[in-house]
Homo-oligomer: A and B are copies of this chain.
């Protein structure tokens, strides 16, 4: 398996939000090469139909399999919610991790038998994927969900600590907080950038669950178990592939990644 261990991890998202997962992977697994794919020409997925999301997901999975990845990480809650099976069917023996599985495990670990809030895009929330995965792990947990469609545009506008964002968060979270939840799953890869503001809004009694970090932990354990962990003296290599290089891509991308993006490749579909 040592030849295989040098292959990159494939991470993908509908846009740039998945870079929060890449950031967590870089910190947890600094020797692993990563190929990131962001479908920036067709983002956002969170408001599209399940059929369309499935078709786009299949196309991205096939592209990353052609890059000879050793593991696939679905770093997009919307794809994980409605198209994780599409990825697993195509991936064959390649391990597949996704942010919803990771978030669900972290939630149950945080509040066994307790009360969990979940926020995400309309498609993620309507899919009920978090509640299903949480209940598969612990049927006694109570789940309270709320779609927060304005959070993605607010993050992309950079209003991370703005009165408008605070008012929006208060309105979206009111019904969830009324249920006295123990933890709140940030069920969208954009949301970790709102953590300081959300912490103020939810108060100190509610634990924020950021699936980017949990996903990186699972990736480490899974690579170790499969004998696929990469040991190298060389610095890890990172590739960023997108379907469009939109306005403000570099600025927003680096805000998500917490470091310089370097070269970005564009594919034409």
Alpha-carbon gap, A122 to B49, bound state (A): 26
A-B contact pairs, 30 of them (CB 8 A): A40-B48, A41-B42, A42-B42, A47-B246, A48-B244, A48-B246, A48-B247, A49-B244, A49-B245, A49-B246, A49-B247, A52-B243, A52-B244, A52-B246, A122-B248, A126-B247, A149-B153, A149-B156, A149-B157, A150-B150, A150-B153, A150-B154, A150-B157, A150-B164, A153-B153, A164-B164, A164-B167, A164-B168, A164-B171, A167-B167
Give the Cβ gap from A50 to chain B, nearest Cβ, in Å. Answer: 9
Alpha-carbon gap, A154 to B149, bound state (A): 9
User: How many protomers of this protein does the assembly include?
Assistant: 2
Chain A residues 45 to 60 lying within 8 A of chain B, measured CB to CB, are 47-49, 52
Q: A residues within 8 Å of B by Cβ?
A: 40-42, 47-49, 52, 122-123, 126, 149-150, 152-154, 156-157, 159, 163-164, 167-168, 171, 243-248
Interfacial chain B residues near A156, Cβ < 8 Å? 47, 149
